[in-house]
Amino acid sequence: MSLLVVGMSHRTSPISVLERAALDGTGARQLAAAACSSGSAAEAVVLATCNRLEVYAEVDAFHAGVRDLAAAISGSTGLPVEELGEHLYFHHGERAVDHLFTVAGGLDSMAVGESQVLGQVRAALRRGQEDGTVGRTLDHLLQQALRVGKRVQTETGLDRAGHSLVEAALDGAEAVVGDLAAARALVVGAGSMSALAATTLHRRGVARVTVANRTPARARRLAEAVGGDAVPLTDEAALRAALAAADVVVSCTGAVGHVLDARAVAAARAERPGRGGAGPAPQLVVDLALPRDVDPAVAALEGVVVVGLAELRERLARTPSAPGAGLGAGLALARAIVEEEVLAHQAEQRAAAVAPTVTALRSLARDVVDAEVGRLRSRLGADADPRTVAEAERAVHRVVDKLLHTPTVRVKALAADGEHGASYAAALRELFGLEGESSLDSRAGAVGALASADVSSSASVAQVLAAVPAPVPTAPPAPPADGGAA
């Protein structure tokens, strides 16, 4: 068995596909159950967020696992596999572990470093535990992922990076729009970064904050938290009016494609009041999304100043004392933490994989000792001194324990430090005539199947499925020569 993740996210799918594939908690439960009932997955857990849908599963075969997980996603979302294939990605084995830890650390999020994803991973684990789709392997792995995510937050401060970016973006706002106490702001989006922007604007004393979002209920909740109002992002007239009134616009929706294009902003500026009889009053547009929410052509509109993530990071790099200036260093440290934790997980898995060999070796030794002690007792008879027999038995056990100490400790150390543990375990099994196969060999076989497929995790699921040869039809049995019933 080995770990496989098949999924889609803001990095591979347009917002239209992500919206159609979105699942609530009930849908996520049903998808995990479908994955487990497919025949390929022994355990499964589903991570479903506003910009991510992933199935993590323990599978015994790579190609069958990809095929069955993709089919389960298709069945749960109603999207055909043919349409989903180019948007779905996969990670297998160690790369799947690295991906999960990266996600839990907030490094694969739309807003890098955001901590909301930890709660989403925790909710996914809880659903799997309640429904029985998560067993010992995935339970342990997701608990590790939660610990890695918490460690990234604690040791890097990346969970504060988003706050620093918002603060840095607004530091130059008054130079563009004047006194913030008399300004109005529009926040496009209602996710964690948008919520941070809205609360920061409110704390800085902005006169009024309006929130626009595709889901009106989420927009209203965020607007109420800052004493503002909400408009549907899909209502062009309402959005244009909010854009025309806003001095500061902050956008971070997680959409693929431009949410604010030059045509919409130009139309809003045509309705925007001027300042002192001149043209429309200046506006600051802050784009915190990746990919960008704001059409680059907006920056060419007269009176509009656009600030994006690239500009913010350059500004912070030029000013080491500015808030969030350590973002780059924080990202590097976070990545180092993830790599360290992945290596630790691999060492733990390798050590656990040779445990059956150690157990079998010690069991064999125990059987040999018990047999020899039994023969000794039989030879000495009932008149033998019990203390002498007991001391002889202890001496035999001590000798065997000392003889087994070095090979058992060494095989665990080799497994933890590198790939030699598998060959050492195989040698022990061969030398001592131990039956069965180590679980590490089984895992290596699963990964070997992936290597022989001549694909990598950078390929899409569609490419993997296309590489699977069509099943050869089984010919019906030939009728008996005499034409009678078989």
Place 473 in a pLDDT band, splitting at 50, 70 and 90.
low
> Residue 251: phi, psi to the nearest 5?
-125, 130
Residue predicted with more confidence, 138 or 353: 138
Average pLDDT over residues 327-342: 85
Q: Which amino acid is at 196?
A: L
CA distances from 151 to 100, 113, 334 (A): 14, 12, 9
Place 99 in a pLDDT band, splitting at 50, 70 and 90.
very high
Question: Roughly how many angstroms between the first and final C-alpha of the chain, as a whole number?
Answer: 40
Q: Tens digits of per-residue pLDDT, 287-317?
A: 988 668 899 999 999 999 999 877 776 766 6
> Residue 90: phi, psi to the nearest 5?
-140, 155
Q: Is the pLDDT of residue 274 over 60?
A: yes
Q: Is the pLDDT of residue 329 over 80?
A: no
SS3 209: strand
Q: Is the pLDDT of residue 356 over 80?
A: no
Give the CATH H-level superfamily of domain 161-322: NAD(P)-binding Rossmann-like Domain (3.40.50.720)
Question: Any catalytic annotation for residue 252?
Answer: no
> Backbone dihedral region of 39: left (phi > 0), alpha (psi from -120 to 50 degrees) or beta?
left
Q: Tens digits of per-residue pLDDT, 231-265?
A: 999 999 999 999 999 999 999 887 767 899 999 99
Encode 377-405: b = buried (16+ Cβ within 10 Å), e = exposed.
Answer: eeeeeeeeeeeeeeebbeebeeebeeebe
Q: Tens digits of per-residue pLDDT, 57-86?
A: 999 989 999 999 999 999 999 999 988 888
Q: Which amino acid is at 6?
A: V
The predicted structure's pLDDT at residue 144 = 96
SS3 230: strand
Paired sense of beta strands 52-59 and 41-49, if any: antiparallel
Catalytic entry in 21, 41, 50, 168: 50
Q: Closest Cα partner for 316 from 106, 179, 162, 186?
A: 162
Q: Closest Cα partner for 97 from 144, 151, 154?
A: 144
CA distances from 36 to 94, 116, 138, 281, 358 (A): 21, 27, 13, 58, 31
Paired sense of beta strands 208-213 and 184-188, if any: parallel
Rounded to an integer, what distance in angstroms lies between the CA atom of residue 342 and that of residue 362? Answer: 30
CATH code of the region 2-156+330-350: 3.30.460.30
In the chain, pLDDT over 70 holds for what percent of residues? 79
Q: Which amino acid is at 80?
A: P
